[in-house]
Every structure is written in structure tokens, then in C-alpha cells.
Amino acid sequence: MTPLLELDAVTQAYPLPRDRLFGPRRSLTVLDGVDFAVGEGEAVGLVGESGAGKTTMTRAMLGMETPRGGAVRFDGRDLREMGPDERRAFRRAVQVVMQNPRSSLDPRMSVGRSLLEPLRALGVAEDHAARVREVIGQVGLTESALARYPHEFSGGQLQRIAIARALAPRPRVLIADEPVSALDVSIQAQVLNLLKDLVDELGLSMVLIAHDLAVVAYSTSRVSVIAGGRIVEQGAPRDLFVHPEAEATRNLVDAVLTMEDGLAGRGLAAGAAATPPVTSHQARRGR
């Protein structure tokens, strides 16, 4: 599949403070030769522990940072070679849904105004009011939501609004950065199903970034695992998570909590058997 959005041997490093006033300035390498791609209409996942480099990769894919090495390409064009008009078209074509919708929406703006802003800022040439009404319906909310403010909505509804704002400029790629980690478990499946339906119905490409293996396994057809700034393993979710080869993938799989012992009534009992309770008398004596 021809990549629509591609990172080719991308390297990124940040300068560190000097140890001495006139000493050499060191740098911290965050991405080290990363290759990553998403094709037209494809949903891919990116998983890794905190500090692995997921956020820096997101910023590179959005064109918010210029990497020190390698190239970021959209539709075959290097972002660094794009002129102003191409750059504006790129910003319309690649949109992001952030982790916490409460912090990504301006509390002083009505929902309708928040959805209008990207259309105006990006110079989208169509009926803005009609487009706003269309996208709010696509995410399962009524037009009455447009006159209300963020504090009047639940977390799941706010994430739907954030998705609607990302859809407003008619993007080709949707980057979902931990889109359900701030939501209640009962709401997560609804938002994931919404994203899957939008990918299928609109022909979107999606990059789903998470540390939850179940989320990416449910929502994507191909997954890359990042650790220490490098892609250490990639493939189909079932293959990676059932038969992991890289140590980082095994650590993520081993960290998944299971409920079998708890449902069988053995969870707390096993813990109690392994570690005897400490009495207040023993605690006072330092035992």
C-alpha cells in the first residue's frame, strides 16, 4: 500500500542544559531512525510506554516539529519542501483528536463557535454553518449542542465534539492521541466504535496512539511498537500481542491486567496467602 502519511528514518533530539557554563551542550535523542506509515483508508496503531517517543512522533506527523534527520512526507511530498498553499492544505488534511477534551476545548466558546474556528482559520471554502451542523450529526449529537458550552457536557460527549472539530475541515488522516484514556470504561467502547465507523464511512486514514493494547487491537489492522525512540516490532495486533518477540512488546502484554483470578474468587485470597496481614502491634514494633 502506498503511504499517505510517512515518517522515513526520522530522528529528533532536544538540547539539554549545560553541566558547566562553558561546557559542551549535550542532547537527548527522542526518536532514532523511526520508520512509520499509514496508507489511504488504513487504521494503524502506535503503542509504547510513557516516554517511548509517541508524543514526539505525533508532533512530527502533524508538522509541528521539524526532525533533525529523515523526512516526513504527506502524499509523497516532504513537509519541508511545501510552500504556503501546500502547507495550508496539509493542515486541513491531517487533523488530531487529543487525549483530554476538556483541555482541548475553550470553555469560553460555545460548541458551535469551537467548530467554526478551524474552518475559518484554515480557509475552508464551503458553507461553514452547514458543515458544522453536518459534523455534529456525524458524531451522534443534535444541533442543540451547538449553542451550549463545554461544561454542560459529559466527558464522552466532549470527546465526540472534539472528533467533530477534527472532522470539520474534511481531513484525509485523523490522528487520535489516547482518545479514550480520559473516559470512563463504559464510554470508551462508544467512542472507539464511533471512530471505527467514521473510518469506514468516510474513507479516513487513522493513526491510533495508545498504551492500552486492547484499544489498538480492537480498532486497527496493523500496529507498531515503539520503545526508546525506535520502532521495535510491527504487525497484525493478534500476532504481536499473542506471540510478542520484542522485549518491549512482551512487557506491554505482561502489564495487561486480567480478571480471571478475581472472578474466580482467588484474587484477594492469593494475595493474602502470599503476604500475611500486618497487625497494628507488629507495625508499632517495625515488623
How is residue 251 written as a grid cell?
512487557
Q: Which positions ≥6 away from 247 have C-beta within 8 Å?
A: 227, 232
The whole-number average pLDDT for the span 245-270 is 68
Q: Which residue has the higher pLDDT, 281 or 165?
A: 165
- Residue positions counted in the chain: 287
Give the pLDDT of residue 285. 45
**pTM of structure:** 0.84
Q: Which of 52, 45, 70, 65 is nearest to 230 (CA)?
A: 52
The whole-number average pLDDT for the span 119-129 is 91
Distance CA 281, CA 151 (A): 49
Give the pLDDT of residue 252. 85
Confidence of residue 271 (pLDDT cuts 50, 70, 90): very low
Distance CA 81, CA 56 (A): 21
Neighbours of 21 (CB within 10 A): 5
Give the pLDDT of residue 2. 80
What does each C-alpha distance from 14 to 11, 28, 46, 61 come to in angstroms? 11, 5, 22, 17
The DSSP call for residue 20 is: S
The answer, yes or no, to whether residue 263 has pLDDT greater than 60, is no
pLDDT, tens digit (0-9, with 9 covering 90-100), for 196-210: 999 999 999 999 998
Q: Which of 227, 255, 213, 247 is nearest to 51 (CA)?
A: 227
In the chain, the amino acid numbered 182 is A
User: Coil, strand, or helix at residue 126?
Assistant: coil
Looking only at the bridges linking them, the beta strands covering 94-97 and 173-177 are: parallel
Domain residue ranges of the chain, discontinuous segments joined by +: 3-103+172-256
Q: Which residues are paired to 45 by β-bridges?
A: 208, 223
Residue tagged 500500500 (cell numbers): 1
Q: How many CA atoms lie within 13 A of 185 on its CB side?
A: 2
The whole-number average pLDDT for the span 61-87 is 94
The whole-number average pLDDT for the span 22-28 is 84
- Over the range 163-173, which residues count as b (16 or more CB within 10 Å of their CB) and which as e? bbbbbbbebbb
Average pLDDT in the chain: 86
Domain 3-103+172-256: CATH class, spelled out: alpha beta
